[in-house]
Amino acid sequence: MPPQQAPVIGKASRRSWLIWFTAALVYLLSVFHRTSFGVAGLEAADRFGVGAAALGTFTVLQVGVYAAMQIPTGVLVDRHGPRKVLVAALLFLGLGQILLAVAHSYGLGLLARGVLGFGDALTFVSVLRLIAAHFPGRQYAVVTSFTTAIGFVGNLAATVPLTLLLAGPGWLPTFLVAGLVTTLYATVVAARVRDTPQGHAAKTARVDRRELLRQVRTAWRVPGTRLGFWVHFTTMFAPNVLTLLWGVPFLVQGQGLAPATASALLTVFVFGSMLGGPLTGALIGARPGLRMPLVVGYLAGAALVWALLLGWPGTIPVAVLVPCFAFLSLGGPASMIAFALARDYNPLHRVGTATGVVNVGGFVATTITALAVGVLLQLSGNFRVALLAVVVVLALGTFRTLVWWRRARAALFAAQARGEQVPVQVRRRLWDVQEDRQVPAAA
């Protein structure tokens, strides 16, 4: 079991904070572009002349590209450094949104969202790698939570403000300006961001396919990485499915609300995550042993919330929707625990790869669920039937999270018995078992 891998600095400098903030604004832009389809979905259906299943394909493609690129992104960040990858991310994000602005055909719209998903995929892992290099271990969870809070400002901009812009200036000016601003910001990142506190750029090494595969396999074999994957898979997908695509259609077509009211309700996810993120980061930074109890508590609460939403007779009152959405919004902050697990159980040179592996989880779950909701909605015409897909994926992810929590604890017990340093001290409980075959903690 490797020790907690913190950069060799006692305190982050003002320069490191400025570098982080510059990079965090890239994440803000990526979240804006990612979630912009959540309120533009109905207009996109009219613009491209498609139904529910085809509309779901936009999100499935975008999120599928994102998920598929997470492990390659982690490797790219470890090999080439986060600065270069962030510049590339901005260029792809800008290009994707510009293509969407001028698209009138379904095919070009799909291409645009695919390009945007590619740029989005390069962003978050790069920012986390910068945090790992510029901040000591005790600050990692807190700074990561600040990053997600800034990202949710982009989510907020993609709700009511974007709805008003689409109703005013319209589709072309709104998305064209967003794409151009994003592209121009690449020059700021190139000039301001540095890969390390000392300012050194990462050395580009020749990529060996076998070495890359070995690095990914090594990260995947770490129980903490595997646990992080399933935590991310289970906690973040439901808020994503609602904010990326199906929230507004569910509220407008399924609950009979006005589009402006539906967009306003989605801001509950934004404010809930913005408030919950820093609180969660500060809590787990001070008491790492609370990480998994918080995850399990959230999953249990989410199951109750979905039972309430899908079992409510008739139209669900706004007074019920608001607290339900507020609780579900905590899935974003809870998913950040997955990245803390990846960082704690992997050496710094493999943190990017492990983070990429973990980040695949939530977006794989989002892709599967968004597609399933669209197909079920097309077949049944009933949102409550379609949203049962969320419950099925939640149950699967919860089961796998519990399995790997137990296995990760078993690996910690074994490491403690060998006298190794571990990120979190654990005590054996009645539900812990001694496994004969331990998954290697690290290589």
6 has pLDDT over 70:
no
- Count the neighbouring beta carbons within 10 Å of the beta carbon of residue 121: 28
272 has pLDDT over 70:
yes
CA atoms of 190 and 192, how far apart (whole Å): 6
Angle at 68 between CA 64 and CA 74, to 5 degrees: 135
442 has pLDDT over 70:
no
74 has pLDDT over 60:
yes
250 has pLDDT over 70:
yes
Who's near 414: CB < 8 A, 6+ residues apart? 438, 441
53 has pLDDT over 90:
no
Model-level pTM greater than 0.75? no
Q: How far is CA 37 from CA 46, 267, 317, in A?
A: 13, 14, 25
pLDDT at 316: 92
Mean pLDDT value of segment 266-276: 83
CB 300 within 8 A of CB 395: no
Long-range contacts of 169-177, Cβ-Cβ distance < 8 Å, separation of 24 or more: 171/40, 171/43, 171/47, 171/101, 172/101, 172/102, 173/101, 174/101, 175/36, 175/97, 175/98, 175/100, 175/101, 176/97, 176/98, 176/101, 176/102
Does residue 348 or residue 166 have the better pLDDT? 166
pLDDT tens per residue, range 172-221: 898 999 999 999 999 999 999 988 777 655 555 555 667 777 878 888 88
pLDDT tens per residue, range 85-116: 999 999 999 999 999 999 988 899 999 989 99
277 has pLDDT over 90:
no
CB 50 within 8 A of CB 140: no
Domains and CATH numbers, the chain: 14-197+216-417 (1.20.1250.20)
438 has pLDDT over 50:
no
The tokens 């139209």 sit on which residue?
315
pLDDT at 437: 47
Quote the percentage of the chain above a pLDDT of 90: 30
Least confident of 57-71, 352-366, 368-382: 57-71
21 has pLDDT over 80:
yes
Mean pLDDT value of segment 326-344: 87
Least confident of 170-184, 337-351, 400-414: 337-351
323 has pLDDT over 90:
yes
